[in-house]
Structure 1
Amino acid sequence: MFFQAEFFVDTLVYGAALGSVLALLALGYSLVYGVGGIINLAHGAFYILTGYIVFWAYDTGIVPYPIAIILGLLIVPTIAAISYIALIKPTQEHEVGVLIITFSLGFLIERSIVLYEGMQLAEIQDRSFPPILPDLIDVLGTPIISQYILIMIVAVVIISCLIIFIKKSKLGKSIRAVSQDKEAAQLMGINVNLILMFTIVLSAFLAGIAAVLYVPVIPILPTSGWEYLLMSMSVVILGGLGSLPGSVIGAFVISYARFITFYYIDIQYQLAYSGVIHLVVIVIMLIVRPRGILGKKQRT
């Protein structure tokens, strides 16, 4: 059963697609933590908010589909920037304060979506919008929606561009400087707060890209943000806090572990066990290797 062609293709393609999405989400999450030491519990909410904005703009027919996507990718990073200036920046020196603020922000986004959706429907439904590439392609005799291939291609391009940007650009070097030593970077004339705001905006944009790619094939609910947050945190802990290559590796490990496990679980129990897989990974990694696959030892 394990080596059936359909299982192999499904696991390979769907696992790679989810891994690509998780890599985008985890890279943004890891950047914010690595640069500012900020645990952003609203990260998953940025993902679903982008999806809902695109859906609302497209579903109402006010704007064409491409414009709806652009709106989602512009509005959510703007909200992230405002959130940093108004909420996170005043409390960023206090870890508990940041946790409370970002959790509250994520909860506020979720409740706002529920409120708006509740005014339109008697019952909250999952939401999606059309795939950019809806056609089916044949992979070893198994039909696959082309959108899954697009997800992988776009993720590779975005991740490659991000790595080049971080390594080669002046702004990227400033980000690395702040992540290595915030005080020294400040003495060198780098605007640390501006860099922190930029990384949060960038992380929201990456979450938005992930939503634009993945929501067409996996619909969302107002509560879906917490699941994607949990997956992102699992990936980052597995790969190593602040390690971008580790986040990419961790994303695919979590993704394939999820799909292979689901193959052996009855469909009626998959939803119940979906979060357990990530929690098990977190617990095992914290016990065996607390710093993650590619994480560095904390300096004392």
Structure 2
Amino acid sequence: MRETLDVDLYANEHANMDSLPFRYGFQFPSNTVMTLYNICDLEQQSNDRVKLTASFIDIDGNEQSGTFILMKKSSPLLKVVTIWLNDKKDEFYLSELMKNLRKDKKIRVSDLIDLHPRYRSGELVTMSALFDALIMKKEVNLTERDSVIEEKIKNKYEDQIRSLHSENLRVTNIAQIAIKGLNERDNIIKQQETEIKDKENKYNLLVTEFEEYKKENQRAGRDRTISVATLSEETTLQAVNRNIIHRGSSCTELVFSNGKRKYMKISTFDPNLSITSKAERLINKQVRTTCWDPVNEPGKWSRQGYFRGIYEVETNRGL
């Protein structure tokens, strides 16, 4: 991953008007370009949004860190949508509450800066706690009747948060495979020197499988149907047959040791036969295939015997 990343922060938008004042206790006076570094935990959230953790320098020259939501736009730099100090569900609700109240002219930036110490202390880290604290401030134009805003925010965004949580769990499960590989590599180094080369090959293969699948899954997420690259079980690939007519289309056919067959329409998904050629190189090897299933219809295409990618799998991982 790149060492630094420049991003646009707009002075009159949520990140600078709500998030920085409340979570970090300051506000930039004008549009600025922030330089992010120590970047990690990069995650594609949608076609135009990414989430990552990074460090940055605040207005007083102090180092800060947080979770950023960035959005792609027409200019070369990504735009900061919001910044969270803690990557938790409540942070999402806090952002929405602050944004809604500010747009309704019920709170000011100065109110959020005043409450910043109580946020950092852990007192105001939920939407309800922040709302109650704002009601107690005499300067804030807010009453208990405005509490309906809380329920509206929860109703509007609960489905989206569940979706993000599910995606985080799925990516975490994949990442755990790679973490196990890393742990195995640490143990291998302590073993006999003659075993290291063979074991490292197994580790590298595991990382390659994970990285290739992650890239494909990101492409699936950007697909117009918003899909997930569903992984198949591990099995041995016995044969690859070109130009097999399946449901009226010319397809590449994969034949597996478990008796199953899978198909991919060549003209649509493999016009240059790159995936077919890769499959032919993996005959008699242990593999997994992927199929792009719509997020809202799990298993729609994979259950019908279609595939979009194929990966070699190391069978004796020792994990």
TM-score of the pair, normalised by structure 2: 0.21
Greater relative contact order (CA < 8 Å, ≥ 6 in sequence) = 1
Structure that is richer in strand per residue = 2
Q: Pick the structure with greater CA Rg.
A: 2
